[in-house]
Structure 1
Amino acid sequence: LQRAASGEGPSRQLKECYLQAVALLVEDGPQLDRAEYFQLLRMLAWVPDKFMDPETVSVVNFGLTWISVRAPEVTAAMLGEVTNMWISSSNRKVGLFSGGSILSSQAPPEELLQSIEAQQLLLNFLEEHWVIAAHGAVEAGEAVLTVFRRFLELSLQDPSRML
């Protein structure tokens, strides 16, 4: 997964490796060392940080949903990592956070539009999981809602004040 995520291979290879890693986590998770388990979970949650495009984020959404269904006890940790990745994209001014980086008279570059569409997919994923947690369907519902509050607070902050 690390080699595929480094951008060395085609995107199809990244998706295949990603889904294989998700399957490993879901099927063999109980046999993995706790540190290895959470390292792999973190790696899976951070893939959109490097590849913020709709196709990749759709695969990530599928994979993380699969994990949350099979291992609901890690949902809070998983959403915490996705939130950290989201804040990283904010700090780097990716997609929605690009602000005034392009002039209003210019057409936005395709890469920016792709990033914004990918972020919309990621927001839909997060919203679905937070709604589930709010209705008490997740064991760690309060922890998930705390992550949601943190997500909102940090997303709405001026990036220059976050340092």
Structure 2
Amino acid sequence: MKIILTFFFAILLANSCKPSNSELLYGTWKHSEVREQKNDYEIMNIQEGTSSEIIYAETDLKQSKTTTTVQDFYLVFDNETNYIEYKVGMGMKFEFKLSNDTIYSNGEPEFEIISVTNKVLNLKKLRTGKSVNYIKSNDDLSKFEILN
């Protein structure tokens, strides 16, 4: 009987020592998206007329070029009430509240925490239903401007 009680209390103690989602949430989280953009352009031969100074343009070939860029997005949970979302080099500060694994921003449900560890944060954006993975980051964000 003592062994069963000891085992039971050991399990309770182990679960109570596990950090909560709110404790794991604090810090800087980074998400990178690879985006491809296709640009169409035309190669032109330009000939100048000698007698009338008229320029003639003739399209030789239409080509496409795909450009790949990486865009970084950051979420910074700095305390129990505020987080900053960085997009395209600018930051926006929001108030948040965490309740039942849902992050409320300005009173509206914004994200659902699917899972969080000390290295990976998996969020579901409630407006789009899209799941996004963030990794813990130590990037310096001081170069970015906070708009509000």
Instruction: Please give the TM-score of this superposition, normalised by the length of structure 2.
Output: 0.20
Higher percent of residues as helix = 1
Q: Which has the higher contact order (CA 8 A, sep 6+)?
A: 1
Instruction: Please give the TM-score of this superposition, normalised by the length of structure 1.
Output: 0.19
Q: Which has the larger radius of gyration?
A: 2
